[in-house]
Structure 1
């Protein structure tokens, strides 16, 4: 009973006659709309299939995935509409609200015709890492569109935008051009000179005191009967990293071995909380901040063991617990009523291929070389293959006087005849408005300055990769790679599920509505079911 009602009751009949009307009026005044969030948290779970969230939802605790599944707005039909479902592409799409045809990130790596070499999506020699690893520099210079974080900082310069992930490409794409990205480097989290001249003090402090898990054992965290639903633990298709076996328990080796265990997620989220506290995200007067988290662990375990393995299930259960602790800590640090959480994935994952279900790049290029040799004479015709693109050598075409269009037609027929190939498109076909087959998905992926001369698409369930060192893979235009979770929970959002088709490209425009910033370049649209309640 509220204080006002208690006073009304105590005052008796006179109070009812004289002041009852005031009580009625006070009770009928509509509640004030919830305050806008001071911290928006975007969580992208690398390699998380929608099907796995639904399959194991009853095994999750109430504070992690189920916090959003049961207490948030859930979109059951969120799918990427393009073909190259890879990590860098997905993070760029979520962060910018645009597709690869516009943001220009066509794969994790591609062949740079000007540089004459394969390049990473975040490669920038002028931005060396600050961890002294001596590796290639990293920056967002190849990202052709502004991100949500860029829009926020443009409209509110006092805001702060941080992105943390185990993978550099995940953090960089989400931080955008103006935010700050941190990723796992040589011996801890790092950044590059694009973002800072020296590591912030909180990063150095966290790295110095980070948990050491080498030599500890990764055991199953649930009853054996649960894992038995997936079949035997020892699966010959599993290809664990060096130092690991195929069966539980797993002794975690020194170095970066922990990245292939749930400990990677634990450490990432702990580092994310350290960033929240050090940068006072969401707690400064008038703060409107963005924290993006790239949970890379699910993807890394899926690649090593396959998404239907005992290890993949245990990782998902443990990531759920880590997410519970992370969100609970944010509630305490910032306030549950001041935090908006959006969760999605950058792509799904194909199951470990069965015998005959692998198609490596060598077979693709050999078929193309043989066909062009037979048609025009011996040359080195192929410049590069990076999934799913084949690049021809212009010099070879010129030396033999071969029209490019003719060579592409010959090559497309030769590769298309290989077992496991569903469709091969020339660059002209990839940019056409043909609505048949997989062409629309390829067109949405295609950015001509970077995409290949030929695009090779595997049959559903076939792993197409430059090599065969993974148990599970992604990058195909099929349900298992395109269908991902998408859910939001925050102040004023009532629990609801929606079955209409949406895209992860809709996430950035939706969050822009919450942050009250323009995002005019986005081709995704705000999701009205998850935009701020009317004020």
Structure 2
């Protein structure tokens, strides 16, 4: 045995999550990409071409938490961007017990306190006796906080009301001087939503590089981790959909900025010294009007209006003015348990009646009773995703599975945007590419899962996988 032998690990682990990046964007704009960005990833990295999201709904907060925990909403407690706990709607990262650091607004009152599981970064901290540094950077708070985890040294996100990056007292009492200096040089007019512009992509990577430089990430004796998420791609996709100039421009900007980022990593950490993965928190559906213009079946389902109509029908049926449906979120139906009880009604009877009403809609394929999923005639792959996405305390009562092409969006003929959240490949088929330290070039079309990312990274680092991990390492 060699004395003083050490476990071989990279100097820095970098996770890059591109919000709402469909898998096929790797190839749809391929001919216009430069050689040093996304093409470099494909040319040097190992690409998992058949990576799917194993739960419903496919939304931002869940995707980011699942990538870094290797788990599913049923175990992480992150059931969506917003969800209900005991009849009260909550935001996934909102924490009234902390204060904003860097501004006076509520946009900084955030923490990972609703995340029930550990992350890659948490396990890296444990493995190195908390000597490793772990930092999250994104424009969206949830895209920075949830990947960084509980023990992170810092998470930074963009406060639109202030026009610069902030954090919260969960992590620190005041911003480091380098962040204050960065904000002075890179702020925008308060109220300007940088997420809706290509500028947001560039700003994210500038902040990521500043974090590496000033925190000396990847330049110490232990492995550090940086979690980066690109939020502008999602905001622009929601506004302009999957086609057109706006989406084209933001992905070409991403390609340029990620090429610059790779070059920066080569120069500071050293080529071959960092382990990087790129993936997405979810994809995005094509605009239903665009689809119909090409004779493809599609439509805007408007789940919120459908739920409102069913609530009114149920009130007449049960002869009550009580609110019976609390809300709709990502086609999940939350019944108002408290109002139902106060009205002297039985929850099971109201739920059964609601299920029948939703089933009358021609664009609904299944209405799922979360308490009885196993007994319902639903295709097995979809059934598994339903179960993975459900939590008794936070997950709702019913789930609507719409026909292919029918998305939870406006059905207005002038609607130009899009959304995501469904089980279908448009929303659940995501890119996954590993590059850098100990990664050999190649690709696989074998089925892989979003939840395989965390155990793969942890296996390569020879550290324990996160404590709610359900995925498996991709590499032998």
* Fold conserved between structures, TM > 0.5: yes
- Residues 320 and 343, structure 2, Cα contact 8 Å, conserved in 1: no
| Cα distance between partner residues in 1 of 2:157 and 2:411 | 25
Per the alignment, residue 387 of structure 2 pairs with 443
Among candidates 106, 109, 112, match of residue 140 of structure 1: 112
Q: Which runs of 5+ in 1 are unaligned?
A: 1-33, 215-253, 530-535
- Give the Å deviation of 1:505: 0.8
Among candidates 215, 225, 229, match of residue 279 of structure 1: 215
| Cα distance between partner residues in 2 of 1:414 and 1:434 | 18
| Cα distance between partner residues in 1 of 2:96 and 2:403 | 37
Among candidates 438, 449, 464, match of residue 408 of structure 2: 464
**What does residue range 422-433 of structure 1 map to in structure 2 within 5 Å?**
422-430=365-373
Among candidates 253, 267, 278, match of residue 318 of structure 1: 253
* Partner SS, residue 192 of structure 2: helix
Pair 1:124-2:95 in alignment: yes
- Residues 19 and 231, structure 2, Cα contact 8 Å, conserved in 1: yes
- Residues 74 and 497, structure 1, Cα contact 8 Å, conserved in 2: yes
| Cα distance between partner residues in 1 of 2:402 and 2:442 | 36
Q: Which runs of 5+ in 2 are unaligned?
A: 1-6, 293-297
* Higher Rg: 1
Per the alignment, residue 239 of structure 1 pairs with none
| Cα distance between partner residues in 1 of 2:96 and 2:133 | 26
TM-score (norm 1): 0.81
| Cα distance between partner residues in 2 of 1:131 and 1:466 | 37
Among candidates 159, 174, 198, match of residue 132 of structure 2: 159
* Partner SS, residue 39 of structure 2: helix
* Partner SS, residue 439 of structure 1: helix
* Partner SS, residue 494 of structure 1: coil
- Give the Å deviation of 1:359: 2.5
Residues 357 and 133 (structure 1), Cα distance of their counterparts in 2 relative to 1, 3 Å cut: farther
Residues 462 and 491 (structure 1), Cα distance of their counterparts in 2 relative to 1, 3 Å cut: same
Among candidates 427, 450, 456, match of residue 504 of structure 1: 450
| Cα distance between partner residues in 2 of 1:432 and 1:209 | 59
- Give the Å deviation of 1:68: 1.4
Structure 1 residues 332-391: Cα deviation after superposition (integer angstroms, max 9, x where no partner): 011012111101000000112227822224422233223322432132212222222222
**What does residue range 248-397 of structure 1 map to in structure 2 within 5 Å?**
255-284=191-220, 286-354=221-289, 357-379=299-321, 380-397=323-340
Structure 1 residues 153-176: Cα deviation after superposition (integer angstroms, max 9, x where no partner): 111111000110010001011011
Pair 1:522-2:466 in alignment: no
Pair 1:182-2:156 in alignment: yes
* Partner SS, residue 372 of structure 1: helix
- Give the Å deviation of 1:312: 0.3
Per the alignment, residue 346 of structure 2 pairs with 403
* Partner SS, residue 371 of structure 1: helix
- Give the Å deviation of 1:470: 7.2
- Give the Å deviation of 1:440: 2.1
- Give the Å deviation of 1:441: 1.6
Moved over 3 A (4+): 430-435, 465-470
- Give the Å deviation of 1:307: 1.2
Per the alignment, residue 92 of structure 1 pairs with 65
| Cα distance between partner residues in 2 of 1:398 and 1:341 | 52
| Cα distance between partner residues in 1 of 2:35 and 2:352 | 55
**What does residue range 194-209 of structure 1 map to in structure 2 within 5 Å?**
194-209=170-185
Among candidates 428, 441, 447, match of residue 482 of structure 1: 428
TM-score (norm 2): 0.90
- Give the Å deviation of 1:201: 1.2
Return 87-96 or 438-447, whichever deviates more: 438-447
Return 103-112 or 358-367, whichever deviates more: 358-367
* Partner SS, residue 337 of structure 1: coil
Residues 384 and 470 (structure 1), Cα distance of their counterparts in 2 relative to 1, 3 Å cut: farther
| Cα distance between partner residues in 1 of 2:409 and 2:299 | 11
Considering only aligned residues, what root-mean-square deviation do their CA atoms show, in Å?
2.2
